[in-house]
Structure 1
């Protein structure tokens, strides 16, 4: 795997994390030795990290694209950093990364997973990107109790939820042995009303972009996704501009870039690469 962790500091103008970045969460890039003119920006999800998107990076790099995956402030470090960061920091980091790539490549496209799908839609609209691929985009989130969260974020720091590591997931990234356990203890073992409210702010901004989003858009939904329904992909691809396609994979879960079902994972990744290659 030809990967480098020496990437520009796309977080420079946004919240500065206080805790160290976990090894799995380092921003990364896959860049060809010989210059190419097309790049893809990958956007990870809410409480996620760049290492989760290594698989689409590998496939896109093999197809001839340079690939970059920034890390949002507050992600992959600590719960304290997470609560100190905001939607503007997350969106702003992706915006600055795209702006950097747009100055260096003829064509820059986006792939986003979950909240990263919502962020990718915002950035694609801001820059009039040509192509956009969304994996379970967080445009519709039935579990969000917006009215309750709007109030609770001022009074409740966190709520304990059940989480445990799932050994059936096989990751593609390089990391430390305890990365999953540590991030689970910081992020996935709790609900943070303040963080959820920032997610809702991202979601609203993304939905507001849909009607005038011109990028050719592929959106993939999973039949075994407990978080994001098909409705989100229907929303993303029902817009009037661009060429749009909704692919539903019945056996796919929410974590498509490293889905436990390899057939579903492979189908999703192949569809993303084909879309980026212009196979509409």
Structure 2
């Protein structure tokens, strides 16, 4: 992903105790401060979420962006990780943060997929979960190597990454990430994708009666547009929306249009607060 001085560590930003900042001043919390749990992408780190996290925090929201298992250290630590390790982490974080007050769950790429699965598990806006922020969830992917994955995992331990994840090449400097994909763990991601698609198909329409902001890019070299459109059809259109960016690559939270993404997120949070 290029040279970076970004910190791969977790992000923890507390909510303003008196409320969130609207256009006319500070708006008191409905019951308790709202926290946004943001999950990073595969082989990445919370650094990819930093600009959006800072914008949400500046408006008063609490933001937590922890490290998924196997990330932020060395590639070898990701090789033995299974999808159940991530889903267990997400469930635990939601339970812990939900004890503080209302929660919005979101993420980028793998993080968005995990957020969606947790939303499906919870089944609706019951309890503390107020909504989902899904940025480029890989419901479908473009990489043709996915068809060879069962064979590749027997032949190699790592795979090269694509080099065109960003429309803005300078944006890559803000992201700490591994330089290669671990083959076995990449297979786990593909299995997770299939698992989430099956869970979506198994539920009645709209499959997810939970407010959701789904954002994709027409120029994303990783995630297929048809996959996002398929998912959008399985959301409740009265409380959810799909928004397309047109000048960003895959890492929406760092690329050219991240300010627009932050504004979309803030508008959604205002309606859920």
Query: Is 1:49 aligned with 2:45?
Result: yes
Identify the structure with bigger relative contact order (alpha carbons < 8 Å, sequence gap 6+): 2
- 1:267 Cα deviation from its structure 2 partner: 1.1
Find the residue that maps to 1:232 and give its secondary structure.
helix
**Paired residue for 1:19?**
none
1:129-185, CA deviations, whole angstroms, 9 ceiling, x for partnerless residues? 331111111111121544521233233212445759986116668xxxxxx5xx4xx
Equivalent positions of 1:59-208 (< 5 A) are 59-105=55-101, 107-127=102-122, 128=124, 129-143=129-143, 145-160=145-160, 168-169=170-171, 180=176, 183=177, 187-188=178-179, 190-208=180-198
Cα pair distance change 1:152/1:37, threshold 3 Å = same
SS at match of 1:271: helix
Alignment partner of 1:278 is 2:271? yes
Query: What is the RMSD computed on CA atoms of the aligned residues?
Result: 2.6
Q: Does structure 1 residue 230 correspond to structure 2 residue 263?
A: no
Matches within 5 A, 1:244-263: 244-259=240-255, 261=256
Match of 1:216 in 2: 211
Structure 2: gaps (5+ residues): 19-31
Distance in 2 between residues matched to 1:152 and 1:199, nearest whole Å: 14
In 2, Cα distance between the equivalents of 1:222 and 1:76? Answer: 26
Q: Aligned partners of 1:31 and 1:62: how far apart in 2?
A: 10
* Partners of 2:36 and 2:46 in 1: CA distance: 14
95-104 vs 137-146, greater mean Cα deviation: 137-146
Give the aligned partner of residue 9 of structure 2.
Answer: 26
Query: Take 1:162 and 1:43, find their aligned partners in 2: how far apart are those partners?
Result: 21
- Secondary structure (helix, strand or coil) at the match of 2:170 reads coil
**Aligned residues of 2:158 and 2:183 also touching (Cα < 8 A):** yes
**CA drift at 1:235:** 2.3
**Residues of 2 paired with 1:33 and 1:267: CA distance?**
23
Do the aligned residues in 1 keep the contact of 2:137 with 2:223 (CA within 8 Å)? yes
Deviations 1:11-52 (A, max 9, x none): xxxxxxxxxxx9722112100363752111101101110111
SS in structure 2 at match of 1:101: helix
User: Cα gap change, 1:50/1:160 in structure 2, threshold over 3 Å: closer, same or farther?
Assistant: closer
CA contact (8 A) 2:17 2:33 kept: no
User: Normalised by the size of structure 1, how large is the TM-score?
Assistant: 0.77
| Equivalent pair of 2:46/2:67 in contact (CA under 8 Å) | yes
Tell me if the contact between 2:136 and 2:215 (Cα under 8 Å) persists in the aligned partners.
yes
- Which deviates further from its counterpart, 151-160 or 58-67? 151-160
Q: TM-score by structure 2 length?
A: 0.79
* Deviation of 1:272 (Å): 1.3
